[in-house]
Amino acid sequence: MITRQEILELAKIENTPSVSVFIPTHRAGKETLNGVDAKKLKHQLKLVKQKLEKQNMHKNKIATITEPLINLINDGEFWRHQSDGLAVFCSEKVFKKYNVPVSFKEFHSVSNEFYLKPLMPLFNGDGRFYLLTLKADAISFYEGTRYSITEIEVDDLTPSRLEDVVGYDFEQKSLQFRTQQGNQGAGSFHGHAKSDEKAKTELLQYFRAIDKGLMKLLHDDQTTPLVVACLDYHFPIYKEANSFKNLYPQHISGNPADMDSIELHERAWHLLKSHFSRKRQDKKAQYHELSKSGKTSADLSEILTAARQGKVDTLFVERNGDFLGQFNPDTGVISAENKPNGTGIPLLNHAAMKVFEQGGKVFLEDKEHLPDTTSKVNALFRY
């Protein structure tokens, strides 16, 4: 999992060259057994080497930059633990790799800055969410998107059972707890009122310990929604314990032990799909409403200037493709760069990262779905 802070740190790095590679990957199946994903990375490596050679780069420098990619290709254990996409960034002094729940189009970039635009769906309300399943004797934590869900190990961050926090087995030695059958998955306690209150206190203590552990992982990412799957009785107690700013107000009702990851994913997305589509559509509607007010733009030069000044609220940018060139921030002039050994940068990526750094939203779109299809990039300014 890549954090917002890691994106920002990568965006600050300026090395010549900075190599970025993206490939789709498989979680399991014959593609994994047959090394399909490793072969894709090997093909991209070949193309990267060709570009570096055209820049008349010394072979020793090329070897230094590409050696980590070669090692990765030959790491059989690595390829057995994939998500939906792999992003790799390398230069003479940097090598980073990330398995993420986004299926990329095969792509590489060789520039003086890392190409980070394909990662924007992870951070700008484009379908990424977290899912926490709560039980008294176990928890699980997942990262999901519209099309996938991946379990994240949190055993070293959170208590695995209630008894780890309160000192005894809640289900066996505390009150008799019976999960009522039915669609709501509601639970009820049987016993004296004083014991009921004690059980709630212990659950609150347990949930606070879980929240504290998760925040070590999520402290840099407070905008991705977190959905909780639990018994109805547990959710208000967890809300009281929670400190994550984007806890989703509705939960998946029922006993998580009765649901596999496929059902959990389906039910989580059912809760969230309108949440994600609404954000994007609301921003598109604002763009159209303000299109003649001077508060929008489809001009790359104007957008780059505004992005550097923190004036862009939302950027809609073409998903595939870019524009290689130079931008002079003093004059606002863009010059195209078509030479194979030139020093141009991908300007759509540059615009996306400047907006992201300033806290704006970046939505990747197919060109036909941009608010203004006459341009590869549209901006809604802050007002």
Q: What is the mean pLDDT of each run of 10 residues along the chain (383 residues)?
A: 87 90 89 88 97 93 96 94 92 94 90 94 76 90 84 85 61 41 42 68 92 90 90 96 96 95 92 86 95 95 95 95 88 74 81 94 94 97 90
Amino acid 181: pLDDT: 38
Residue 284 maps to a domain: no
Residue 121 maps to a domain: no
Both 135 and 271 in a single domain?
A: yes
> Which domain CATH number covers 17?
3.30.960.10
Amino acid 31: pLDDT: 80
Residues 251 and 270: beta-carbon distance below 8 Å: no
Both 97 and 139 in a single domain?
A: no
**Alpha-carbon distance 59 to 64, whole Å?**
9
**Alpha-carbon distance 155 to 354, whole Å?**
36
Residue 285 maps to a domain: no
What would the DSSP string read from start to end of 359-379?
T-EEEEE-GGGSSSTTSSEEE
* Angle subtended by helix axes 36-54 and 59-73, to nearest 10: 170
Tokens representing 79?
């390829």
Both 230 and 322 in a single domain?
A: no
Amino acid 250: pLDDT: 96
Tokens representing 367?
């060109």
Both 8 and 74 in a single domain?
A: yes
Tokens representing 194?
């004083």
Amino acid 86: pLDDT: 95
Number of domains in the chain: 3
**Alpha-carbon distance 157 to 216, whole Å?**
8
Laid out side by side, the sheet with 312-318 consists of 296-297, 377-381, 312-318, 361-365
Both 296 and 371 in a single domain?
A: yes
- The position carrying tokens 């189009």 is 105
Of 211, 246, 276, at which residue does a domain stop? 276
> Which domain CATH number covers 198?
3.30.420
Residue 21 maps to a domain: yes
Both 137 and 97 in a single domain?
A: no
Both 111 and 133 in a single domain?
A: no
Both 295 and 383 in a single domain?
A: yes
**Alpha-carbon distance 349 to 125, whole Å?**
18
* E-assigned strand segments in the chain: 14-24, 85-90, 95-100, 107-113, 129-134, 139-144, 149-151, 176-179, 187-190, 226-230, 252-253, 296-297, 312-318, 324-328, 333-336, 345-346, 361-365, 377-381
Of 91, 115, 139, at which residue does a domain stop? 115
**Bridge partners of residue 333, in order along the sequence:** 328
Q: Which domain holds residue 92?
A: 1-115
Residue 331 maps to a domain: yes
Both 144 and 240 in a single domain?
A: yes
Residues 188 and 180: beta-carbon distance below 8 Å: yes
Residues 233 and 187: beta-carbon distance below 8 Å: yes
Both 164 and 269 in a single domain?
A: yes
- 3-class SS of residue 19: strand
- The position carrying tokens 């300026």 is 14
Of 252, 276, 300, at which residue does a domain stop? 276
Closest by alpha carbon to 223, among 122, 83, 103?
A: 122
Residues 365 and 318: beta-carbon distance below 8 Å: yes
Residues 106 and 23: beta-carbon distance below 8 Å: yes
Residues contacting residue 63 through CB under 8 Å, at least 6 positions apart: none
Residue 124 maps to a domain: no
Both 344 and 260 in a single domain?
A: no
Amino acid 172: pLDDT: 45
Residue 282 maps to a domain: no
> Which domain CATH number covers 373?
3.30.1330.30
**Bridge partners of residue 14, in order along the sequence:** 113
Residue 147 maps to a domain: yes
Both 82 and 140 in a single domain?
A: no
- Region for residue 191 given its phi and psi (left: phi exceeds 0; alpha: psi -120 to 50; beta: otherwise): left
